[in-house]
Each structure stands twice: as structure tokens, then as C-alpha cells.
Amino acid sequence: MPPGAEFLHRPGGVERLRRDVAFHSVHGDEIAVDILSLFNLLLAFALAPLLPGIINRTKAAFAGRTGQPLLLPYFDIARLLRKGAVYSTTTTWLFRAGPVAGLAAPAAALTVIPALGQPALISFNGDIFLLACLLGMGRFFTILAALDTGSSFEGMGASRETLYAALAEPALLVGLAALAVVTGELSITGMFAGITGEVFARVVPVCALVAVALTLVFLAENSRIPFDDPATHLELTMVHEVMVLDHGGPDLGLIQYGAALKMWLLGSLVVGVIFPMTGGLYTTVVYVCAMFTMALGTGVVESIMARFKMPRVPQLLVAAGAASFLAVILAAR
């Protein structure tokens, strides 16, 4: 008898062996899924700064210029992190906490975003509220840092940012709620996993409305045209950029990297609605190409149209919220 074979001849030995094999098989699959989810997170950290580079290169092409290198955002962040920081004597710890929270919030929020057909690193029922809370926390500390300087210009930018956020967040949450109604899931991972090809074909109007609403939220939250102009130099017309005018050195590097992560995060939501993911190498290529296409489309929008007047921006965000509510009504029918 081979060594260890006597275990099978004991009472219940075969059944215990089957349970052990099933246990290790299940836990092996869970470890594999966790590794793939971690890979999605690392992919976002690595490729997020490339999105602003694609946007700027697209705008340069429309203007007939060669444009800056695609990898310039990486060099800018690295250059800023090597510099020193200068702080006014009138600021407090809130001014220093703003850039840190602005980076930590989207980085943490990426852990609840599924991608490449794989579940998110953290997933539970109602995690859409965690996503909203994390994004709101990052914005809250950015606003506090802007107000801490005592600058009237940064105070105006903070006020406008608060108004836009109050209109954009309902559109985001209600849009995800429409997906929850369609799929019957309460977690972001479950929602996007439930949007299979068959489900997508059945609820195309709902997905289209949610995609439109999330795209408008994507542009608003990332301070892009038509909501804001990141390239403007007029303090009176700035929204997000005016809030970070007094930051420099490593603090500005953290802000730029956090903005890139936030762009990747919100872009992932739009891509997840439009392109159902099933996993595999093909899905990885489609997902990355779709993210780059989002950046390309943003550059095209900023090249062919101007920023809206201030009174029209809230109207556009209200329209995004209306699209989300209409999607919920259609999904509930």
C-alpha cells in the first residue's frame, strides 16, 4: 500500500479528502481573482497619467501643432515630487492635508471599481455609497485647503466646485441605481458583471441614458470643457484650477496624480456600461483602448467647442440627473 493510502481506508476518509480538495480549489480560485483585481488596480496607477497626455496631444493635433510628448505628465509629476514646498504662514494643516486627501480618495475609490471582467478588490452591497463618500471626501479637503489660504479667488472656485458637485453626485448615484434595477445587484461589481451581452441588448435605452449621464459627470468632475477650462489663465473663470493656485512642489504633484486617477476611475464607469467585460487578454486590450478613446474623445470635445457660460453649466448637470432618473424609470418598467 503506498504511503498515506491508509488514510482513505479510514471511516469517512474519502469524504474528508473530497472536502479538502474542494476547499483548496475554492480558495485557490479566490486567490487568483484577488491577484487579477490587484492587477487592475496597478494598471490604473500606471496608466492614469497617460490620459491627460492623450488629451493634450489631441488638442495640439487639432490646433496644427506637434504637441507635447505623451509621457510628459509622468515627468511633470516626478519633477514636482523632487521639489520643495513653500507654505504661507497664514495656512494651517488643512492646506497640507488637501493634496494628500485629494490623492488618497480616488486611490481608495479605485478598489471598489471592477475592470477587465474581474471583480473589484473590495465589493459589498451598497458600495456605491462608499464610492460617493470617498469622492466627496477628496473634494471636501480640497475645498478646505482652498478656503484655508484666505484668497477670494480660491473661495470663488471652491463655491463653484461645491455647486457643481451637488448637481453631479445625484446623477452619478441615480445612474448606478438604474444599473442596480436592471441587474438586481447592489454592488458595483455585481452591476457590471450583470451587464452581459444578452442583458445589454435588452436594455439598450437604459444603458445609453446611463452612459450619457456618466459621461457628463466624467467631464464635470474632471473639470473639462464644457464645464471648466483647465488651460485658462483667468482666475475669475476658473473652477478647479483656481483652488490649487497656491500649491506647488510635491503638493501639486500629488494633486495632478490624484486628478489623473479620478479621470481613470470615472472613465472606467463609462466604459463598463458601454462595453460588457468577460475577462481574458482580449478584454484587457478592449478596456485599455476604450479608456484611451475616452481621453481622445475628451480632447476632441475640447477642440471643437468652447466652455459654457456659468449659468448654463448647472443646467447641463441637471440634464445629466434627468437622464439618470429617466433610466431608472425605464429600468423599473
pLDDT (tens digit per residue) in 111-135: 999 887 788 889 999 999 999 999 9
Look at residue 1 and tell me if it is in a domain: no
- Asked if 294 and 218 count as a contact pair (C-beta separation under 8 A), the reply is yes
3-class state of residue 118 by DSSP: strand
pLDDT (tens digit per residue) in 283-297: 788 899 999 999 999
**Average pLDDT, rounded, for the chain:** 87
Q: Quick one: pLDDT band at residue 138, thresholds 50, 70, 90?
A: very high
Which has the higher per-residue pLDDT, 329 or 32?
329
Look at residue 39 and tell me if it is in a domain: no
Percent helix, strand and coil across the chain, each to the nearest 5: 75, 0, 25
Look at residue 21 and tell me if it is in a domain: no
Domain containing residue 225: 48-332
pLDDT (tens digit per residue) in 193-244: 888 878 888 889 999 999 999 999 999 999 899 898 887 777 667 788 889 9
Q: What is the spatial distance between Cα 329 and Cα 333, in angstroms, rounded to a whole number? A: 7
- Asked if 36 and 116 count as a contact pair (C-beta separation under 8 A), the reply is yes
Which amino acid does the sequence have at 119?
P
Q: Cβ of 201: how many Cβ atoms within 10 Å?
A: 10
Q: What is the spatial distance between Cα 275 and Cα 50, in angstroms, rounded to a whole number? A: 21
| Stretch 308-327: mean pLDDT | 93
Kindly state the cell numbers that stand for 47: 496608466
- Predicted model pTM: 0.88
Q: Quick one: pLDDT band at residue 311, thresholds 50, 70, 90?
A: confident
Q: Cβ of 6: how many Cβ atoms within 10 Å?
A: 10
Grid cell 466604459 — which residue? 271
- Asked if 39 and 29 count as a contact pair (C-beta separation under 8 A), the reply is no
- Asked if 145 and 98 count as a contact pair (C-beta separation under 8 A), the reply is yes
pLDDT (tens digit per residue) in 13-69: 545 535 544 444 444 445 655 787 888 899 999 999 999 999 999 999 999 998 889
- Asked if 128 and 134 count as a contact pair (C-beta separation under 8 A), the reply is no
Specify the pLDDT at position 77. Answer: 96
Specify the pLDDT at position 22. Answer: 43
pLDDT (tens digit per residue) in 236-253: 677 888 899 899 999 999
Grid cell 507635447 — which residue? 68
Look at residue 210 and tell me if it is in a domain: yes
- Asked if 53 and 261 count as a contact pair (C-beta separation under 8 A), the reply is no
pLDDT (tens digit per residue) in 147-169: 999 888 888 889 999 999 999 99
- Asked if 158 and 243 count as a contact pair (C-beta separation under 8 A), the reply is yes
Candidates 139, 114, 94; CA nearest to 43 is 114
Look at residue 248 and tell me if it is in a domain: yes
Look at residue 54 and tell me if it is in a domain: yes
Tally the domains of the chain: 1
CA angle 141, 94, 81 (to 5 degrees): 85
Cα distances from 241 to residues 31, 47, 160, 166, 188, in angstroms, run 42, 22, 11, 18, 30
Grid cell 454592488 — which residue? 187
Q: Cβ of 43: how many Cβ atoms within 10 Å?
A: 18
Look at residue 69 and tell me if it is in a domain: yes
Look at residue 11 and tell me if it is in a domain: no
